[in-house]
Amino acid sequence: MSSVRMLERIDPRDPFAIVLRADDTAAPVVLQTARDADGATVAFQTERQRLKQRRVVGDLLLVHQKKARTLLREPLR
């Protein structure tokens, strides 16, 4: 993955997180977080496009961190 990413936000206090559960890694990785649902949706779509271009295999998740609930799941194949 590229070490330069624009508008990346990772704050454990944010309620929403974009998480990659890649097939070749043991633990899920938080890619970005968002303060609201709109920001989370934009971040999810941005990460989805980026990971598909890089042909990453796994699952992309939109998670509500405070409720520990997966809101969206996109298989990347």
Write out the H or E segment, with its range, that includes residue 33. Answer: strand 29-34
Question: 52 lies in which domain range?
Answer: 16-76
Q: Which residue has the higher pLDDT, 57 or 9?
A: 57
Q: Which residue has the higher pLDDT, 60 or 10?
A: 60
27 in a domain, yes or no? yes
Q: What is the pTM of this model?
A: 0.83
Q: Answer whether residue 48 is part of any domain.
A: yes
60 occurs within a structural domain: yes
Confidence of residue 24 (pLDDT cuts 50, 70, 90): confident
Confidence of residue 8 (pLDDT cuts 50, 70, 90): low
- Say what the pLDDT of residue 5 is: 41
pLDDT value, residue 11: 85
Q: How confident is the model over 42-68, as pLDDT tens digits?
A: 999 999 999 999 999 999 999 999 898
Instruction: Tell me if 11 is assigned to some domain.
Output: no
| Residue 50 to residues 13, 20, 23, Cα–Cα distance (Å) | 25, 12, 17
Q: Is residue 3 part of a domain?
A: no
Residue 6 lies in a domain: no
Within-domain flag for 62:
yes
3-state class of 31 per DSSP? Answer: strand
* Total number of domains constituting the chain: 1
**Does residue 4 sit within a domain?**
no
